[in-house]
Structure 1
Amino acid sequence: MLIPILIVVYIVIALTMVVSLLLNGIRPSKTLAWLLAIFTIPVGGVLFYLLFGRNRRKNKMFSLKDNFALRNERFHGTCIPNISQGKEKTTELIHKTAKCPVTCENGLTLLKDGKNTFESIFEALESASEHIHLQYYIFEDGLLAEKLLEIFERKIAHNVTIRLLYDGIGSYSLSKKYLKRLKEMGVETAQFLPFRFGRFLSSLNYRNHRKIIVVDNKIGFTGGINISDKYLKGDPSLGKWHDTHLKIEGEAVDFLNEIFVTDWYLASGKKVDMSNFRVQKNTGKHFPLQIVPSGPDDDFDVMEQAYFSLINSAEDYLYIINPYIIPNHAILQGLETAALSGVDVRLLMSSSTDIKLVDWCVRAYFESYLKAGIKIYLYPDGFLHSKVMLCDDEVVSIGTANLDNRSLQQNYEAQVFVYDGDLCQQMKSDFLKDCSKSAVLEDHEAYSKRPWVRKLVEGMAKLMSPLL
C-alpha cells in the first residue's frame, strides 16, 4: 500500500514542477531539458531540478527594490564620463538594471596580489572610527584571519562597530573556535544561506561570491581576493595566486555599503540605519565608475547583460583575464562576433585551474574561440584568479564575477566598471607583459588535432557547464 502512495505523491510533485517550468521557464531549450530529466530520471530528476533548475527570478527570496529606495534619496546626481557613445549605452544599461548611476568624485587605487592588498586593507581598518563592514565568500582560518582578529580587538575597544558576513558554503571550513572568539570580542557575525538540512535544496545553488570591505563609509575594497593565506603563501599544486583588487574612496563607497547592508539584512534579519552614514567626496583625481551588484533575485541578468554590452561595444580591442571562462550562448556569440568583426580579442588565463572538472570545461571552448580568431594565452607562473575586462582604452571592469553561468545568473556578485583611459592603458600594458610570458594558442587547425580522448573528456565536462 505504501509504494502506490509514494508513486502518486511523486507524480503529483513532478506534475507540479512541470506546471512551474511551463509558467516560469525562460529558455525553451533549458525548460525542455528539465522536463526530460524529471520524467526519465526517477527521483533524481526531481532532486536535481530542486537544486539547480528553479527560476529564482520568478520566486524571489528577497527583493532589493525597496531597499535601494534609500540610496536614491541619499544620492543626488550622476555624471557623464568621457567615453564613446557605445560605452555610454553600457552605463545606461547598468543604471537601469542595477539602479547604480555613474559617480565621478572617487579616488581609486589598483591593488595587485595579496601582499599589497592586505597591507592597504589593514591600514584602512586601523583608521576606522565608526564602523567596519566585511563580507567574503571565502574566509579561512590562518595568519590573515588572526591579523584581522588583532585589529578587531583594538577597534572594538574604541567603540567601532564591526559586522562580518561570510558565505555558508565558501567559508564552510571557518572554525567554530574562531567564530566564538569573534563573538566574545563583540564582533557581529552572520552566515549567508548556511548549509542546513531542510533548506539546502532551496539555497545550495545560490552563493554570495562578493568580497567587500567598507570603513566608515569612506574607504571601500572589492575585487577577487578572499581572506585566505594562499594569497601570501601560494598553493602547493598551483603556486602563487595572482589577483586584482580595488581600493575606492569617495561617493561610490556608499553603494558598496548599500550592498553590504542589504546582504546583512538578508542573512541576519537585522537592519542597519544608513541615515547616519555620510556620503563622502574625493578631493584628488576623480575616477568615474559604477558599482554593479547582481544576484538571482534581480529582475534581469544584470551581470550577464553588463558584460554582454561591454563586449558588443568593443571596436579596437577586448582583453579578458578570468580563470573560469565558461560562456553561455550569448557571451560566446558576443566574443566570436567581436573577433570576427576585427576586434583584437584576447583571453588570459592560467595554464591550469584549481578544479580539474572546471579546467576541462574551460578548455572545451578553446576550439570555438580559435576558429573565430580569438587568441588564448595560458599563464604559467601560478594561478590567475582576477576577474578583469579591458576595452578600447576606455573601460576597465574589475570585481568578483567570472564568465560562467554561476556568476552570471546564480551567485551574488559585485563588479566595478571604471571609465578612465589612463587606468585602462596602465592595465593594458600589464596585460600585454603577462601575455609575453604565456604560451599562446592561435592556430585553430593545429589545436583541432589534439587527441580524441581529450576532446571526449572536454565534451563530457562541457555538459556540466550550466552547473559550474
Structure 2
Amino acid sequence: MDQMLIPILIGLYALVALIMVIGLLLNGVRPSKTLAWLLAIFTIPVAGVLFYILFGRNRRKSKLFTLKNQFATVGEFRTIHCYPELSGNKQKITSLIENTAKCPVTCHNRLELLKDGKNTFESIFRAIEQAKDHIHLQYYIFEDGVLADKLLEVFERKIGENVTIRLLYDGIGSYSLSKKYLKKLKAIGVETAQFLPFKFGRFLSALNYRNHRKIIVIDNKIGFTGGINISDKYLKGDPALGKWHDTHLKIEGEAVDFLNRTFVTDWFLASEKKVDVSSFHIHTLPQKGTSLQMVPSGPDDDFDVMEQVYFSIINSAEKYLYIVNPYIIPNHAILQALMTAALSGVDVRILMSSSTDIKLVDWCVRAYFESYLKAGIKIYLYDDGFLHSKVMLCDDEIASIGTANLDNRSLQQNYEAQVFVYDKALCGSMKNDFLQDCQKARLLSDYKAYKERPWTKKLIEGFAKLLSPLL
C-alpha cells in the first residue's frame, strides 16, 4: 500500500507545481521574481509550494479580496476638484493619485498635526465626545489596557446617546485583544468585525495580507489617521526601546468623506454588512483651507499605488527629501530613486531609530546603509526612544503622513492609508521639527568608515537582505 501511495503523492505534487508554474507564467510581473519562485518550487519540495502560497501569489491579478469592486455597494466617491499650487513636475503627482487611487485633491480642509501618544489620544477623546451619529474605528493593533478601557467607558456613554459605533481590527495585528474585552464591547452595543481572522481554513491565503490602517471617523466630520495604534506603549513607553514617538493627523473638512468611505469598504469586506451612507454629509469648510489627497492602497489595487506615489515624489525632489520611517527596506525601484536623487544634488536625509522592535528587520534595514552612504544620503540614528512615524517631506511643497512604511509589505501587501498634504506652512513646520530631531541624532555620513565594519555584521545583514521581500 505504501509503495502505491508514494507515486500518487508525487503525482499530486507535480500537478500542483505545474498549476503554480502556469499561474506564474501567466500572472508574474517581474521576471527575476518569477524565476526565483520557479526555482523554489522545483528545488525545495513541499516547502517551495507552501512559501509560494503564503508569499508569492500576485493579488493584483487574482483579485482575491476585490476591495475596489465593493465600492458599488457603498456608493461612489463624490469628487470635488481643486488644484494646489505646485512647482515643476509635482502637479503630476496629484494626477497620478487621482488616476490610481481615485481620490482627487480636496481643498476645504483643516489639519492639525499631532505628535506622540498623549497629544493624539487627548484630541481623539475630545472628538469622540462630540459624536452625534456614528463613530468608526479601524486599527491594525488594538490592545487591552488603559486606553482600551477608557474607550470602552466612552463608548458606553455615547451608545446611550444613540451613537452607532463600529470597530474594525486586524486579525493578526490585534491577535492579543482578549475575548473578554470583545464581549464587553458587544454587551454595550459596539459592532465589531475582524479583518482576515487568524483561522486555519484561511491561514495560507490571508496570513501575508494585513490591514495596517489606523482610522477614526466621527460623524463624517472629523477624521484621524497616522501611525499611532491603540496601545498603552504610546503612553508608557517600551521597556526595551523607551518612549514611542509617532505622527498622526486630525482632519476636518471634505477629505473626511474619503477616509470614511475607506472604512466602510473595509467594513463590508470584513463583516459582509453594508453601511447606509445616504445620511453621510460632506462637511466643507466655508473657506479654502489645506489641500490634500487621501491615498488608500492595498494588494488588490490595479496598480502599485503607494510605490508609484513614493517613487514619483522622490523623483520630483529638487532641493531636499527628508524621510522619517522605522522600516525602510526599499525595493530596487525605490532604492535607485533615492540614490539618483542624492547623486543629482538633492539633500536626501533619512531619520530612523538606532534600533527597531524586530531584530531581523533591524538587520535588513541596515543592509542598505552602505548603498545610501555611497550615494551621499545622510543617515541619522535616533537614540531617544523609538521613531514609528511614516513621514516624507519634499521641497516645502509635499508632506506625507500616514501608515505606509518604505518596505515591500506596505508597498505591495498591506492595506494602507496615507495622506499627501500640499501646504507650505505645514511642510515648513514639519521640516523644522525634522532638523531639530536630526540635531539630537547620530549622523552617519562616512561611507569609507562604514564600509570597514566587521565582516560578521555584513554577513548577518546580507542574510537578512535575502528575506527583505517577505518583511
TM-score, length of structure 1 as denominator length: 0.99
Alignment match of 2:464 (pick from 432, 439, 461)? 461
2:404 match: 401
**Residues 69 and 343 (structure 1), Cα distance of their counterparts in 2 relative to 1, 3 Å cut:** farther
2:95 match: 92
Q: 1:91: how far off?
A: 0.6
The one-letter code sitting in structure 2 at the alignment partner of 1:345 is V
1:441 match: 444
Structure 1 distance, partners of 2:207, 2:70, is 24
| Contact in 2 for aligned 1:136/1:209 (Cα 8 Å) | yes
Alignment match of 2:297 (pick from 294, 297, 309)? 294
Alignment match of 2:269 (pick from 256, 266, 270)? 266
**Is 2:346 aligned against 1:343?**
yes
Structure 2 distance, partners of 1:208, 1:33, is 27
Q: 1:82: how far off?
A: 1.2
**Is 2:307 aligned against 1:304?**
yes
Q: 1:390: how far off?
A: 0.2
SS in 1 for 2:33: helix
| Contact in 2 for aligned 1:129/1:216 (Cα 8 Å) | yes
Alignment match of 2:257 (pick from 240, 251, 254)? 254
Structure 2 distance, partners of 1:403, 1:302, is 13
Structure 2 distance, partners of 1:191, 1:120, is 26
SS in 2 for 1:22: helix
Structure 2 distance, partners of 1:386, 1:74, is 28
SS in 2 for 1:290: strand
Alignment match of 1:134 (pick from 134, 137, 162)? 137
| Contact in 1 for aligned 2:74/2:277 (Cα 8 Å) | no
Q: 1:282: how far off?
A: 2.1
SS in 2 for 1:139: coil
The one-letter code sitting in structure 2 at the alignment partner of 1:450 is R
1:363 match: 366
User: Once the two structures are superposed, what CA deviation does each residue of 1:150-185 show, in whole Å capped at 9, x if it has no partner?
Assistant: 000000001100000000000000000000000111
**Is 2:328 aligned against 1:325?**
yes
Q: 1:209: how far off?
A: 0.1
Structure 2 distance, partners of 1:319, 1:184, is 47
2:49 match: 46
| Contact in 1 for aligned 2:67/2:266 (Cα 8 Å) | no
User: Once the two structures are superposed, what CA deviation does each residue of 1:98-132 show, in whole Å capped at 9, x if it has no partner?
Assistant: 00000000010000000000000000001001000
1:387 match: 390
Structure 1 distance, partners of 2:53, 2:79, is 42
2:454 match: 451
SS in 2 for 1:275: coil
| Contact in 1 for aligned 2:396/2:427 (Cα 8 Å) | yes
Structure 2 distance, partners of 1:313, 1:204, is 35
User: Once the two structures are superposed, what CA deviation does each residue of 1:247-273 show, in whole Å capped at 9, x if it has no partner?
Assistant: 000000000000000000000000111
| Contact in 1 for aligned 2:136/2:167 (Cα 8 Å) | yes
| Contact in 2 for aligned 1:107/1:285 (Cα 8 Å) | no
**Residues 149 and 462 (structure 1), Cα distance of their counterparts in 2 relative to 1, 3 Å cut:** same
Structure 2 distance, partners of 1:33, 1:268, is 36
1:216 match: 219
Structure 2 distance, partners of 1:67, 1:214, is 20
| Contact in 1 for aligned 2:77/2:258 (Cα 8 Å) | no
Q: 1:67: how far off?
A: 3.9
| Contact in 1 for aligned 2:144/2:231 (Cα 8 Å) | yes
Structure 1 distance, partners of 2:237, 2:89, is 40
Alignment match of 2:421 (pick from 415, 418, 422)? 418
Q: 1:4: how far off?
A: 1.2
Structure 2 distance, partners of 1:443, 1:163, is 51
**Is 2:198 aligned against 1:198?**
no
Structure 2 distance, partners of 1:66, 1:36, is 34
* Number of equivalences: 468
Structure 2 distance, partners of 1:109, 1:144, is 21
| Contact in 1 for aligned 2:244/2:385 (Cα 8 Å) | yes
1:79 match: 82
- Gap regions ≥5 residues in structure 2: none
Structure 2 distance, partners of 1:455, 1:64, is 41
2:7 match: 4
User: Once the two structures are superposed, what CA deviation does each residue of 1:330-383 show, in whole Å capped at 9, x if it has no partner?
Assistant: 000000000000000000000000000000000000000000000000001000
Alignment match of 1:147 (pick from 150, 167, 177)? 150
SS in 1 for 2:380: strand
Q: 1:84: how far off?
A: 1.0
Structure 2 distance, partners of 1:206, 1:282, is 37
Q: 1:289: how far off?
A: 0.1
**Residues 72 and 84 (structure 1), Cα distance of their counterparts in 2 relative to 1, 3 Å cut:** farther
Structure 1 distance, partners of 2:75, 2:168, is 25
Structure 2 distance, partners of 1:157, 1:68, is 31
**Is 2:162 aligned against 1:159?**
yes
Q: 1:76: how far off?
A: 4.2
SS in 1 for 2:433: helix
| Contact in 1 for aligned 2:86/2:397 (Cα 8 Å) | yes
Structure 2 distance, partners of 1:63, 1:369, is 37
Q: 1:62: how far off?
A: 3.1
TM-score, length of structure 2 as denominator length: 0.98
Q: 1:68: how far off?
A: 3.8
Structure 2 distance, partners of 1:121, 1:59, is 38
**Residues 82 and 68 (structure 1), Cα distance of their counterparts in 2 relative to 1, 3 Å cut:** farther
Structure 1 distance, partners of 2:170, 2:90, is 34
SS in 1 for 2:98: helix
User: Once the two structures are superposed, what CA deviation does each residue of 1:45-84 show, in whole Å capped at 9, x if it has no partner?
Assistant: 0000000000001111233444446888552421000111
Structure 2 distance, partners of 1:428, 1:405, is 26
User: Once the two structures are superposed, what CA deviation does each residue of 1:292-341 show, in whole Å capped at 9, x if it has no partner?
Assistant: 00000100000000100100000000000000000000000000000000
The one-letter code sitting in structure 2 at the alignment partner of 1:454 is K
Structure 2 distance, partners of 1:285, 1:396, is 18
**Is 2:252 aligned against 1:244?**
no
